[in-house]
């Protein structure tokens, strides 16, 4: 299970500038709380009145930032695309001296919560089961992510067919890994890193790149 922290509101954040006038919450506050409810309770519970109660403001505050509930939901989808799809694409397009480094860049998305919000991704997938338009957004995002991962393999000398196959194995395995909510210590995952890299790339992984990635992962998950 993915643990989530209640969003810190602008007014409670000492690092934010004080709000002025009659403003009690910001547009970002509405989006952050709506995202939290989407992930923890589902899209049906993303309701203007309920969000206002959580924020301790009236509905008039909401309509100062959004035209309607649908507008808010559309913004949540845009936010999901920006947080998750854009990040994966940028990471696999980042300069890499070898396919080992390219795949490790991909892995970074799924161990660093600042790069990819797993809870949000699967909340949107659950939402898409009941909404055809959201299903289209999911299908488009998966296609864009796969295209970027495939291109990464091709840049490192894999044939078009081989790159497509390896990209699908890598991407769908990673999503399935988190969909199953496996409870596995980071040390155990890192112990299998070389084996995973061999399986995904078909070559012996670069020892220095593996060491650098392990250090990155351990820095995120100190003992």
| Full 3-state SS string of the chain | CCCCCCCCCHHHCCCCCCCCCCCCCCHHHHHHHHHHHHHHHCHHHCCHHHHHHHHCCCHHHHHCCCCCHHHHHHHHHHHHHHHHHHHHHHHHHCCCCCHHHHHHHHHHHHHCCCCCCHHHHHHHHHHHCCCHHHHHHHHHHHHHHHHHHHHHHHHCCCCHHHHHHHHHHHHHHHHHHHHCCCCCCHHHHHHCHHHHHHHHHCCCCCHHHHHHHHHHHHHHCCC
Asked if residue 130 and residue 90 are part of one domain, the reply reads yes
Question: pLDDT tens digits, residue range 10-19?
Answer: 776 777 888 7
Provide the CATH number for the domain around residue 96: 1.10.357
Does 18 fall in a domain?
Answer: yes
Asked if residue 92 and residue 158 are part of one domain, the reply reads yes
Asked if residue 142 and residue 39 are part of one domain, the reply reads no
Asked if residue 135 and residue 46 are part of one domain, the reply reads no
Asked if residue 159 and residue 98 are part of one domain, the reply reads yes
Does 4 fall in a domain?
Answer: no
Q: Specify the long-range contacts of residues 43-50, CB closer than 8 Å, at least 24 apart.
A: 43/73, 43/123, 43/126, 43/127, 43/130, 43/131, 46/72, 46/73, 46/76, 48/72
The number of beta carbons lying within 10 Å of the beta carbon of residue 209 is: 20
Does 150 fall in a domain?
Answer: yes
User: Structurally, how many domains does the chain consist of?
Assistant: 2
Does 183 fall in a domain?
Answer: yes
Q: What is the CA radius of gyration of the chain?
A: 20
pLDDT at 3: 54
Handedness of CA 63, 129, 123, 105 (dihedral sign): negative
Question: pLDDT tens digits, residue range 93-143?
Answer: 999 999 999 999 999 999 999 999 999 999 999 999 999 999 999 999 999
Distance from C-alpha of 179 to C-alpha of 118, rounded to nearest angstrom = 9
Asked if residue 206 and residue 166 are part of one domain, the reply reads yes
Asked if residue 103 and residue 53 are part of one domain, the reply reads no
The pLDDT confidence band at residue 75, using thresholds 50, 70 and 90, is: very high
Show Cβ contacts of residue 66 under 8 Å, excluding neighbours closer than 6 positions: 27, 30, 72, 75
Asked if residue 96 and residue 173 are part of one domain, the reply reads yes
Does 3 fall in a domain?
Answer: no
Provide the CATH number for the domain around residue 57: 1.10.10
The pLDDT confidence band at residue 177, using thresholds 50, 70 and 90, is: confident
What is the span of the domain harbouring residue 211? 76-220
Asked if residue 37 and residue 87 are part of one domain, the reply reads no
Does 2 fall in a domain?
Answer: no
Asked if residue 161 and residue 116 are part of one domain, the reply reads yes
pLDDT at 161: 98
Distance from C-alpha of 46 to C-alpha of 222, rounded to nearest angstrom = 35
Asked if residue 45 and residue 136 are part of one domain, the reply reads no
On whether the CB atoms of residues 71 and 62 are closer than 8 A, the answer is no
Asked if residue 192 and residue 107 are part of one domain, the reply reads yes
Whole-model pTM: value is 0.89
Does 54 fall in a domain?
Answer: yes
Does 47 fall in a domain?
Answer: yes
């Amino acid at each position: 299970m993915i643990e989530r922290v209640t969003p810190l509101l602008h007014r409670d954040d000492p690092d934010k500038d004080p709000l002025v006038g009659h403003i009690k919450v910001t547009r970002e506050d509405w989006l952050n709380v709506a995202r939290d409810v989407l992930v923890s309770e589902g899209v049906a519970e993303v309701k203007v009145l309920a969000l206002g109660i959580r924020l301790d403001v009236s509905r008039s505050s909401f309509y100062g930032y959004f035209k309607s509930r649908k507008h808010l939901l559309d913004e949540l989808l845009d936010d999901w695309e920006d947080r998750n799809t854009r990040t994966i694409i940028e990471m696999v397009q980042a300069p890499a001296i070898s396919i080992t480094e390219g795949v490790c860049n991909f892995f970074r998305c799924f161990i660093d919560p600042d790069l990819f919000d797993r809870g949000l991704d699967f909340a949107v997938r659950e939402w898409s089961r009941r909404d055809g338009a959201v299903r289209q957004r999911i299908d488009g995002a998966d296609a864009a992510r796969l295209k970027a991962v495939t291109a990464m393999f091709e840049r490192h000398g894999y044939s078009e067919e081989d790159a497509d196959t390896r990209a699908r194995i890598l991407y769908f395995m990673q999503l399935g890994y988190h969909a199953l909510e496996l409870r596995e210590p980071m040390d155990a995952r890192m112990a299998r890193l070389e084996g995973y890299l061999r399986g995904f790339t078909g070559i012996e992984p670069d020892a220095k790149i593996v060491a650098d990635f392990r250090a990155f992962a351990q820095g995120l998950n100190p003992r």
